[in-house]
Copies of this chain bind each other. A is one copy, B any other.
Amino acid sequence: MFSFEIIAKDQEARAGKLVTPHGLVETPSFVAVGTQATVKAVSTEDLGKIGNRVIITNAYHLHLQPGEDLIQTMGGLHRFMGWQGPLMTDSGGFQIFSQGAGKEHGVGKIASIFPEENDRGRHFSSKTGKPLVTVDEDGVEFISYLDGSRHRFTPERVIEIGRKLGADIIMVLDECTSPLHDHDYTRTAMERTHRWAVRALAEFQNTCDESQTLWGIVQGGAYRDLRQESATFIADQSFDGYAVGGSLGKSKDEMHQVLEWTIPLLPQDKPRHLLGIGEIDDIFQVVKRGIDLFDCVAPTLMARTGTMFVKEAERFRIHILNAQFKDDPGPIDEGCHCYTCCNYSRAYLRHLFVAKELSAVRLASIHNLHFIESLMRNIRTAIREGRLAALSREWLDR
């Protein structure tokens, strides 16, 4: 029911076909983020028209709300959310640990070089003074951000949740370290993540179901020796696919290095996913290093603030609330064929954002998702035709 085939290579970049019980994904592919069983502000019908083929939801968020048991009762995640295409579930490792060390250090996947941006939260409960997240050999305990209730995830529990949700691709539970963790702690966490990976795989095999696959996650922070050790260890387990997770350093350059240390050690014949990265310039960088799939909230997150992708704009984006767009009759992006660009002007989109109309967010999200999807189609074609470098120059060297 599952297969992955590489149909063309252009240097390290690969064009492939990932077959799942819910259909085919041509790679490299953007994976739309549907954390709470919906891609924010758009419908599954919208995604179908845009051309999105695969959605990643989040076992941690869905466990807290509405709960995996309810989703199972409703016929599984595909049926619950009305999406008949391929689905992934991230374990929520990143989300759990970003409430702990991530908040302690105030960082996400890449630490900001501006210290004030690294201090956005608390890592202790404001009520009890206890830590929000505690990790031990068995698993991780955390407090729900919704109601303060305590929950425990173990590698086995994540498989159980994944079985109930029924996604095509389950990600193992991993411990995500922060870019500000030192080498010692990052090693400790990585080794624990490896033991968890072995346990997850055993549990997955014990509950055999050919309709799902389990993917491993490489950790090791931005430390070369640890990334290489982790890639070697995880590659050695019989996962169906491999993700690169956790801290990717303090800059985009460090992120590229992490990929260069890691990717060559992963099996050539298995799909590779990069978790949580994908601004426009990143896309070329990760694809040319051999990534097949990546997910990123940027298209929908930016849409909610009125930031929309435009090929010819600085950093590939415009902010529609800028006064210059007030009487602009053109579409968001010339040449874009999305529903928004075919039907509405920049002036109208700006009006909807100024007037705080909900439709604004959907129309902007449709555009941004379509923009990425269209870019990915071009990238796949370029790889098949051996001209990815030229396409990359066209976009990045200006």
- The interface stretch among A70-78, A183-191, A289-297, A389-397 is A70-78
Q: Give Cα distance in the complex from A186 to B350, angstroms.
A: 41
Whether, in the assembled complex, A301 has its beta carbon less than 8 Å from a beta carbon of chain B, the answer is no
Instruction: Say whether A66 contacts B345, CB under 8 Å.
Output: no
CB of A302 closer than 8 Å to a CB of B = no
Interface residues of A in 333-363 (CB under 8 A from B): 339, 343-345, 347-348, 350-352, 354-355, 357-359, 361-363
Q: Assuming A43-B363, A351-B37, is B326 touching A66 (CB within 8 A)?
A: yes
Contact with B along A31-70 (1 / 0, CB 8 A): 0000011101111110000000000000000000110001
Identical copies of this chain, number: 2
Write out the residue numbers on chain B whose beta carbons fall within 8 Å of the beta carbon of A352.
36, 38
Give Cα distance in the complex from A129 to B326, angstroms: 33
Shortest Cβ distance from A150 into chain B, in angstroms? 20
On whether the beta carbons of A361 and B363 are closer than 8 Å, the reply is no
Q: Are B362 and A74 in contact (CB under 8 A)?
A: no
**Which of the listed residues A65, A74, A361 has the most CB atoms from chain B within 10 Å of its own CB?**
A74
Q: Does A327 sit within 8 A of B, measured CB to CB?
A: yes
For this complex, 20 residue pairs linking A to B, each with C-beta atoms less than 8 Å apart, are A36-B352, A36-B357, A37-B348, A38-B352, A38-B359, A40-B359, A41-B357, A41-B358, A42-B359, A66-B351, A66-B354, A73-B329, A74-B345, A75-B329, A80-B347, A80-B348, A81-B348, A358-B361, A359-B362, A362-B362
A264 at the interface (CB under 8 A from B): no
Q: Does A82 contact B (CB under 8 A)?
A: yes
Are the CB atoms of B74 and A329 closer together than 8 Å? yes
Assembled-state Cα–Cα distance A17/B361 (Å): 36
List, in ascending order, chain B residues with CB within 8 A of A363's CB. Answer: 43
Q: Which residue of chain B has the shortest Cβ distance to A61 in the bound complex? A: B355
Q: In the assembled complex, how far is the CB of residue A325 from the closest CB belonging to chain B, in whole angstroms?
A: 11
* Distance of A37 Cα from B343 Cα, bound (Å): 14
With the chains together, A347 CA to B80 CA distance in Å?
Answer: 8
- How far does the alpha carbon of A329 sit from the alpha carbon of B71 in the complex, in Å? 10
Given A329-B75, A347-B66, A359 contacting B45 (CB threshold 8 A): no
Bound complex: CA of A74 vs CA of B331, how far in Å? Answer: 12
**Contact residues in B for A44 (Cβ distance below 8 Å):** 343
Chain B residue numbers with a CB within 8 Å of A329 are 73-75
The 10 closest A-B pairs by CB, nearest first: A41-B358, A82-B343, A66-B351, A36-B355, A38-B357, A38-B359, A74-B347, A82-B344, A80-B348, A74-B329
Minimal Cβ-Cβ distance residue in B for A304: B358
Instruction: Name the B residues within 8 Å of A354 (CB-CB).
Output: 65-66
